[in-house]
Chains A and B, each alone.
Chain A
Amino acid sequence: MAMAKAKKKERMTRVMRRDEEKGKDGEPEVIIGLEVHVQLTNLKTKLFCSCSTDYRGAEPNTHVCPICMGEPGTLPVVNEGAIEDAIMVALALGSSISRRTLFSRKNYFYPDMPKNFQISQYDKAGGVPFATGGSVSIGGGKKVRIRRIQIEEDPGRLVYEGTIDSSPYILVDYNRAGLPLIEIVTEPDMESPKEARMFLQNLRSILEHLGVFDESLQGAMRCDANISIKGGKRVEIKNISSFKDVERALSFEITRQKGLLSRGLRVGMETRHWDDLRRITVSLRVKEEEQDYRYFPEPDLVPITISEGLIAKVKACMPILPSERKRLFIDKYGIPPQTAEVLVGSKALADFFEECIKLKADPLPLANWLTGDLKALLNEMEIEIWESKVTPAHMAELVSLVKDGILSGKMAKEVLKEVVATGRMPRKIVEEKGLRAIASMESLKEIVERVFSENPEAVKDALRQEKAVHFLIGQVMKATKGSADPLMANEAVRRRLQEIASSVSA
């Protein structure tokens, strides 16, 4: 099983590496752009009315009012919190904020919006997006440029009876309709599914640090992806509702499109839907083109001017951002830049790290445990750190058990697995299992003696050839059931051999 997994991983890496390769003429093989929709989860009310945004788990259509239900004669009024959030996001991404901005009406007939239009923003037809430009770093010195940032309302949730295709009607829950969203549109700067995931991860971490977004809320970040492969046309993938699915959906699309192209078939311009259950993309019937949305400035809302004063006020309360935090981890705790980058890639992980430090954990080994073994275990289980049973107290204790020589690195890995699975404290597991690392040379010496007396031939050989030395080290490790530090076992065996050699020659 582990073997198959490793192989699969290797294959995946190979595919990704290939995807990252440039064509002969320097043009990237794959070009990806994203449109990310983020719910401003720190806001208590919808974008244009005072309905509560706390809709998760609520009965359908309980968080609705005449405004978000599009009753005639009602008027929307902008939630000022959304403007402040958007300013914060724009500042954090280095975007330039429009001093005067407008809402636009996007017209379409679909039941997810009871008004038959969505109030959004637009960069044409007299529209002015909230902010333009800026970028997000995705590691390795690469940046993904931001095209624009807009504020808009979330549509309602559609429920189908049976499947999308066979459902005789659509059931709609408007609790989500009108929730404040920020739309972040990138330039087509990503060249692999992995880069797209990195972008989303780093964007998510920035938004989390700003406090405008809570990553633990299901469906709070969704995105559409545009992908074109050399030799094909641009394909849009809609309905990617989780952060992890972006990589899956894009990888699926690359395989599908490359398959078509290799068989001499055409990849035409189309919109596809990501089916997260079947983990495939499916073609959508003809949809409206952009010009069919008949955007025009929203007559029910007055324009918004953003003053320097307001920007300065928001700037003054900006919390620490991942990039600054990374610097802090490097400078204050001596964490290597790459490890620090992984830590701040998730606010939850960075917070977890600092919580452990408060419990006096040794920063460097701690950082390695968090970004190495723990992260790998969580990835394997496909859960996030806050969904796991591991707490800072667990990790701080584990790190100190290793530091005090009670656990060897190898034993600690096993204990960590148990911690992740059961949520029990490491010290408890150590006591129950009678684990104890053989950390002192004294206790190792006895074992070396025993191994040497049990294998006199091998000792003779070992005085002459290296291979037999390794055999003896192996026997010592086996006798300690892996609880000894391999380096220490190595040294103990060699030291004993030297003693024998010098006593023979003397």
Chain B
Amino acid sequence: MPKERKLSRREFPDSKKEGDSRIGKEEVKHLAWLARMKLSNKEIDAFSQQLSQILQYFRKIDEVDTEGIEPTYHVLDLTNVFRKDEPRTFPAEEVLRNVPEKKGRYVKAPRMG
């Protein structure tokens, strides 16, 4: 079995540059757009500060030396949990009861853009 590649923080496309844990206002706006959320200027300021603090806090993890340690993908030491390809029906009406807005049998969702 080929040995697992070691990962550096840099390989995570979202990871911030070393030593920079500030989340600027522009970044908050971008994140809000990705999450389709409308934020007021006050909220942008607040989240920028809070997210920076959270990130700063998690920087502590960087201090741990992970040299030579296999990456953990899952907390359980399990692999290959599979299911047989056998259909089972679920009462769809039950699931649809949780849908906030419907049109006929369709789920109604806001326009994206």
Residues in B whose Cβ lies below 8 Å from that of A114: 107
Given the known interface contacts A288-B34, A295-B13, the answer about A170 and B76 at a Cβ–Cβ threshold of 8 Å is no
Q: Which of A113-169 contact B (CB under 8 A)?
A: 114, 124-126, 159, 167-169
A424 contacts chain B at the CB level, 8 A cutoff:
no
Contacting residues, chain B, for A107 (C-beta < 8 A): 34
A61 touches B82 (CB 8 A): no
List CB contacts (< 8 Å) of A280-298 with chain B.
Answer: 285, 288, 290-292, 294-297
B74 in complex: contacting residue of A51, A81, A294, A302, CB < 8 Å: A302
B83 lies within 8 A of chain A by Cβ? yes
Question: Within 8 Å of chain B (Cβ to Cβ): is A334?
Answer: no
Say yes or no for B40: interface residue by CB 8 A criterion. no
Contact yes or no, A302 B107, CB < 8 A: no
B61 close to A (CB within 8 Å): no
Compute how far the CA of A357 lies from the CA of B19 in the bound complex, rounded to whole angstroms.
73
Contact A60 B104 (CB under 8 A): yes
Which partner residue on chain B sits nearest A171 by CB separation? B106
Q: Are B86 and A45 in contact (CB under 8 A)?
A: yes
Q: Determine the distance from Cα of A39 to Cα of B61 in the docked complex, in whole angstroms.
A: 41
**Given A100-B4, A288-B34, A291-B13, do A170 and B84 touch, yes or no (CB 8 Å)?**
no
The verdict on B68 contacting chain A, using a C-beta distance below 8 Å, is no
| A294 surroundings in chain B (CB, below 8 A) | 13-14
Tell whether A159 pairs with B85 under 8 Å between CB atoms, given A61-B92, A285-B113, A291-B13: no
Contact B107 A171, beta carbon cutoff 8 Å: yes
Given the known interface contacts A44-B87, A62-B92, A291-B13, the answer about A109 and B98 at a Cβ–Cβ threshold of 8 Å is: no
Q: Which residues of B contact A292 (CB under 8 A)?
A: 30, 34
**B42 contacts the other chain (CB 8 A):** no
A45 to B4, CA, bound (A): 32
A297 interface neighbour in B34, B73, B112, Cβ under 8 Å: B73
B5 to chain A, nearest CB (A): 9
- CB B47 to nearest CB in A, in angstroms, measures 16
The answer to whether A109 touches B36 (Cβ under 8 A) is: yes
Known A64-B90, A125-B13, A302-B78; judge A77-B95 contact (CB<8 A).
no
Report B11-35 residues with CB < 8 Å from chain A CB.
11-14, 30, 34-35
* CB-based nearest A residue for B87: A52
Residues of chain A within 8 A of B113, CB atoms compared? 285
Tell me, in angstroms, the Cα distance from A114 to B95 when the chains sit together: 12
Residues on the A chain within 8 Å of B41, using CB: none
B interface residues, how many (CB within 8 angstroms)? 44
Q: Quick one: which of A71, A77, A126, A169 contacts B111, CB cutoff 8 A?
A: A169
CB pair A170 B112 closer than 8 Å:
yes
Structural contact, B112 and A110, CB atoms closer than 8 A: yes
Residues of B within 8 A of A172 (CB): 106-109
B13 touches A80 (CB 8 A): no
Q: Are A169 and B86 in contact (CB under 8 A)?
A: no
A170 and B110 contact, CB distance less than 8 A: yes
Residue on A nearest B35 in the bound complex, by CB: A109
Q: 0/1 per residue, B54-84, Cβ < 8 Å to A?
A: 0000000000000000010110101111111
Instruction: Write the chain A residue with the least CB distance to B15.
Output: A125
23 contacts between A and B (CB under 8 A): A44-B85, A45-B83, A45-B85, A45-B88, A50-B90, A62-B105, A63-B92, A64-B90, A109-B35, A110-B112, A124-B13, A126-B12, A169-B108, A170-B108, A171-B106, A171-B107, A172-B107, A285-B113, A291-B14, A299-B74, A302-B73, A303-B74, A304-B79
Known: A61-B92, A126-B71. 12 other contacts (CB 8 A): A44-B85, A50-B87, A53-B87, A60-B104, A61-B96, A107-B34, A124-B13, A126-B73, A173-B105, A285-B113, A291-B13, A304-B79
Going nearest first, the 7 A-B pairs with the smallest beta carbon separation are: A111-B109, A65-B90, A171-B106, A80-B82, A81-B85, A50-B88, A291-B13
